[in-house]
Structure 1
Amino acid sequence: MILILTDKNDAHANHVIKQIISERLPYYRFDLDVDSISKTHCTFVNSKFMISQNGRNCSFNDIKCVWSRRTFIELHLEETYDQSNDFKLWKNEWNKTLVGIYNSLKHLPWLNPWRQAYAAENKYLQIEIAQKLGFYVPEMITSNDINILKSFMLEHDSVVMKLMNQDFYRTEDGKFKGIYVNKLSIDDLKSFGDCQENPIVLQRYIDKLFEVRYTVVGKNHFACKIDSQSSKIANVDWRRYDIPNTPHIAIEPPLQIREKVDILMSELSIEYGALDFIVDRNQNWYFLEVNSMGQYLWTEDLAGLNITKAIINWFKIHLN
């Protein structure tokens, strides 16, 4: 049986589970959103876990592999739950219990193992490994020292600011928006404090030919060319999504990039990853980052990449 760790609103899990059902593969969906967990029974006795959700029991003896889309109970910004001490205690105790569940399953194949997946999310570690492997990596600096930041900006013609942790924030009108990559000038730093500010990341802006969303499932590689320069909205960061004006095309990555990606994934001890690259006007591939739980459905839809099939095949291999 495939254990799927997700939440009730996960479009990727919904899509893959439809394929699992059509292939008649055994699975158990374990939703970790607050509403679903509130309707879940969990018991640990005689060194064994038992869970029941939506009236369906999970026998841990039947689990052969685990797909980790979500690992802990985390709140979305649009969720408005009680933030009392009772709620915090409930959430924290559940998350500690989940760690116990995962520890009991550590001997099984995971896509991806949860500890390795969280370690692999560290962008500084990613950059260290990428540079060691010989990837092009844009010059960057992280600091909250205004003088160091200004010196970096003076060294480069064009600089962008990016976040190491991508999240969504509530605006004054009550909506939610992400803070994506933005070009920055020294004047933009006028309000930056002396030392009380958090460190920010500045990166040399690469004049792009196009961008690439590169998804890996085991030894299967899927590269999607994102023609972000065709859009006035998405030309600095494709995540601003101007899909009608941003062609997505399946491409074959250069062999040396493919080989380095395989080594990078091995170094991070993960089998699934969504990588981002910039390709400059000299056809140099610049590594940006890898997301161990990254999204892929839109590239599958727009570029015809059969990533879901590769995930299903991974399940089949590990069910036997």
Structure 2
Amino acid sequence: MRPPHVLVLTSEDDPHAERVCDLLARRGARVSVFDPGDFPVHAKVDLGYGAGPGTRRILREKETIDLDTVSAVWWRRPTPPRPHAEIVDPAVAAHTVQECKSLLSDLWEQLPCRQVPARESVFRRSGQKSSQLALAAELGFAIPETLISTDAESFLDFHDRHDGRVITKAFHVPFVEGVGDDGLTMTRLTEPVSPRDLAYADGLRFCPVIVQEMVPKRVELRVTIVGRRIFAAEIHSQASNRSSLDWRYYDTRTTPHRPHRLQEEIADRCLALMDRLGLLYGAVDLIVTPDDRHVFLEVNPNAQWLWVENMTGLPISEAVCDLLLEPA
């Protein structure tokens, strides 16, 4: 009997993948790590269809990955294909990148094995924040009152209705790469609305933004779901000024993280959310208010977890390993 063969799609220097790949190898699985960013410069794709036996292979200098032997695909943190440096025309380079992306996306879709967190088309769709909020409310979660808009007047009305106690955050990607002459990366997480923001409200016409009421916090929960297993952690973000508005401004030295026993009703809603989104893995972010309401913020289908595991002892990496080795 052949050992399981797990294909991990990620880039270099991914400690999450390294930890799980080590666990997989200890259990006797064959692990192939491939970054789509290596294609087509450092890797070739060879697909054959028709009357013959057919082939689906990724060819690299030191390894040939026979995709028909793969028992599970784990979509971790891959980078997109890059063009050959020999292509000097930007339009031609962009076209080749798009062709390579389309080929790989189609290739992953046709593999019959288990895919974590889901097939790419499902995974991409599941990350849309507006749909997540609508679904969470349908499933019975409390959600913040939310406005997603490009209209300045709607934004100002929302701001006034909540006496200025509102926050904004990006609709999809919280960073912009290649900003200015220095090519810097600009990151914008959850931010309060300042008087200066109000003065520039008309700028909303350029790009949508999420505006939400500021929900009071007693503690925040990061609920990592792996298959049907739930690992809930308390993040005491209010213990630090730095993390009080958004715990992603990490201050782990002064922000306690502890395992949390999730209420059964909330756990059931989290699993129902994953089922409706078609995900086998995801991290749900919740606020627990001072009056013990659980308020849904979002679910990240490709979330990090190592810092939670290291600070709480929750065995999330082992659970991801288990999931990748389960029969499809």
- TM-score clears 0.5: yes
| Gap runs ≥5 in structure 1 | 76-80
Q: What corresponds to 1:25 in structure 2?
A: 29
CA distance in 2, matches of 1:299, 1:83: 45
The 8 Å contact of residues 109 and 120 in structure 2, kept in 1 or not, is answered as no
Deviation track 1:123-142 (CA, whole Å, cap 9, x = no partner) reads 11111110001101000101
Q: CA deviation at 1:110?
A: 1.0
Q: How big is each residue's C-alpha offset from its partner over 1:186-228, in whole Å with a ceiling of 9 and x where there is no partner? A: 5522122277332221100011111111100001101111111
- 2:123 paired residue number: 117
Q: Would the aligned equivalents of 1:4 and 1:29 in 2 still touch at CA under 8 Å?
A: yes
Moved more, 96-105 or 64-73: 64-73
Matching of residue 242 in structure 1 with residue 247 in structure 2: no
Q: Residues 37, 29 of structure 1: CA spacing in aligned structure 2 closer, same or farther, 3 A cutoff?
A: farther
User: How far apart, in 2, do the equivalents of 1:48 and 1:103 lie?
Assistant: 16
CA distance 1:5–1:83, change in 2 (3 Å): farther
1:267: how far off? 0.5
Deviation per residue, 1:204-253 (Å, 9 max, x gap): 00111111111000011011111110111111001111111111111111
- Residues 1:9 and 2:17 aligned together: no
What is aligned with 2:146? 140
**CA distance, structure 2, for counterparts of residue 54 and residue 167 of structure 1:** 36
Does residue 69 of structure 1 match 2:76?
yes
The equivalences for 1:27-42 within 5 A come to 27-34=31-38, 37-42=40-45
The amino acid that maps onto 2:230 is H
The aligned runs of 1:99-110 (5 Å cut-off) are: 99-105=105-111, 107-110=112-115
Instruction: Identify the residue that residue 96 of structure 2 maps to in structure 1.
Output: 90
Q: Is the 8 A contact 1:231 1:242 kept in 2?
A: yes
Equivalent residue, structure 2, for 1:45: 48
* Letter in structure 2 aligned against 1:14: E
Deviates more, 1:277-286 or 1:16-25: 16-25
Structure 1 partner of 2:270: 261
Cα distance in 2 for partners of 1:315, 1:274 equals 17
Q: Is the 8 A contact 1:166 1:179 kept in 2?
A: no
Identity %: 27
> Could you tell me which residue of structure 1 aligns to residue 174 of structure 2?
167
SS, match of residue 273 in structure 1: strand
In structure 2, relative to structure 1, the CA distance for the partners of 1:73 and 1:136 (3 Å cut) is same
Deviation by residue 1:296-317 (Cα, 9 ceiling, x = unmatched):
1111111111101101111222
Q: TM-score, normalised by structure 2?
A: 0.88
> Matches of 1:82 and 1:222 in 2, distance apart?
49
The 1:128–1:248 alpha-carbon spacing in structure 2 relative to 1, beyond 3 Å, is: same
Distance 1:145 1:103 in 2: 38
**Structure 1 residue 275 displacement after superposition:** 1.2
Cα gap change, 1:156/1:18 in structure 2, threshold over 3 Å: closer, same or farther?
same
Q: Is the 8 A contact 1:72 1:98 kept in 2?
A: no
CA deviations on 1:133-187 (whole Å, 9 max, x unpaired) are: 1101000101122111111111113110111123333566765342010111455
Query: What is the aligned length?
Result: 312
Give the 3 Å change call, closer, same or farther, for CA 316–194 of structure 1 in structure 2: closer
Give the match's secondary structure for 1:193. helix
- Per the normalisation by structure 1, the TM-score is 0.91
Q: Using the TM superposition, name which of 178-187 and 66-75 deviates more.
A: 66-75
- 1:287 paired with 2:293, answer no
Extract unaligned runs of 5+ from structure 2: none
Query: Does the residue aligned with 2:206 lie in a helix, a strand or coil?
Result: coil
**Is 2:323 the counterpart of 1:314?**
yes
Of the three residues 156, 159, 170, the one matched with 1:153 is 159
From 123, 126, 147, the equivalent of 2:132 is: 126
**Native 8 Å contact 1:270 1:292 kept in 2:** yes
Could you report, residue by residue, the CA deviation over 1:70-107 in whole angstroms, capped at 9, with x for unpaired residues? 466168xxxxx9882343233112111102311320x2
Distance 2:189 2:46 in 1: 42
Q: AA paired with 1:197?
A: F
Could you tell me whether the CA contact under 8 Å between 1:32 and 1:70 is conserved in 2?
Answer: no
**Deviation per residue, 1:266-304 (Å, 9 max, x gap):** 000111001111111011111000011111111111111
Compared CA separation, residues 10 and 222, structure 1 to 2 (3 A) = same
Shift in alpha-carbon separation, 1:281–1:309, aligned structure 2, 3 A? same
